[in-house]
Structure formats: C-alpha cells, structure tokens
Amino acid sequence: MSTNSIKSDALEPTRGELKHASPGERLLRRLPVYGLPILTVLLIVLFSLMLPQTFPTMLNVRSIIADKAIIAMLSLAAMIPMAAGKIDLTVGYGIVLWHILAISLQTMFGLPWPMAVVVVILLGALIGLLNGLLVEVARIDSFIATLGTGTVLYAVALWHTGGGRWWRACPKASFRSTAP
C-alpha cells in the first residue's frame, strides 16, 4: 500500500527524459508542467488586445489581485500537504468556519480584528496539527482524515449559525439590514 494519497504526473521532465525525445514529445511532456502559466499569459495578451482601454490597467490588476487574494492563500495552504504527497480537504471546509468565527469574534464578543485574526490562525494551526496526527501517527489516509475533520468543522459552523446564513450569527453586524 502506498503511503501517499496523491501522485503527481505533472513533474518537470529531467534532461535524461528529454534527451532522445522529438520536439513534439518534448512539448507534450512539458505541457502538464507549464500549460497553465502559458494559458494565463495567452489569456492576458488576448484580453489586452480585445479590451485595450480597460483590461491592461493598474486598476484592473489591483481589482483582480484583491478579488483573488483569499483563493491564492487557500491554494498556498493546500500546496504544503500536496508537496508531501498528501491532500488536505479541511482547507475548503475550514474557510467557512474561519470566516464565521472571525466575524463572530468581532461582532458578538467585541474582539478587535487583529485579535480575532490571531485566534482564527491559532485554531487553524491546531486543526492542522490534528490532521497531521491523524495522518502520520494514526496512519489514516489523508483524504479520509481531512474529510472527517472538515465535516466536523462544517458541522461546527452550522451549529454556530443555527443552520442559517452566517450573517444571522452576527446580530451587531452593520450589513444585517441588507440581508434577505
């Protein structure tokens, strides 16, 4: 039985692997590794040519970066276990609870936002430690262990909100009046 939950076939080819390959084979072997960055550059060029007044502007760059910052952080968090050949599903489940907890700590318990962030980071680290113990000490497959931990996190989020939308858990929130 393999000790890794996932195996990547998108590893950069070695010089030895490419030594006797034809140019087409070299391209096909590098495509899984460099395909997404190349596609990204091509899309940037395409949209810049199609929308030269709006797309290639600093305002648009800042907007895209601000909009995708959370996704980028989640990707970095998921990358660490993946580099070790494991998978961590609690990244997706945890984002629900961490959002709710950060807002609730501020609105319901009056914590200043820096303290709420520290509490959320510490709890996230504790969950990461728990996952690490389940996978490495208890020898539970990382997919199964983090699926179980993630389900518990999601259940805690539902319990805290009473099964409703997260803003209902924050009665002092200024956006409450705009919620349906």
Tens digit of each residue's pLDDT (9 = 90 or more) over 22-66: 888 888 888 888 888 899 999 999 999 999 999 999 999 999 888
Q: In terms of Cα–Cα distance, which of 105, 130, 107, 108 is closest to 119?
A: 105
103 and 137 in a common domain: yes
User: What are the start-end ranges of the E strands in 72-117?
Assistant: none
139 and 93 in a common domain: yes
Query: What is the rounded CA–CA span in Å between residue 145 and residue 156?
Result: 17
Angle at 8 between CA 21 and CA 32, to 5 degrees: 50
Q: Is the distance from CB of 69 to CB of 129 less than 8 angstroms?
A: no
| pLDDT beyond 70 at 169 | no
Query: Which residue, 48, 67, 86, sits at the end of a domain?
Result: 67
49 and 29 in a common domain: yes
Instruction: State the residue range of the domain holding 28.
Output: 8-67
* 3 within domain boundaries: no
147 and 82 in a common domain: yes
| pLDDT beyond 90 at 1 | no
Q: Output the pTM of the full model.
A: 0.63
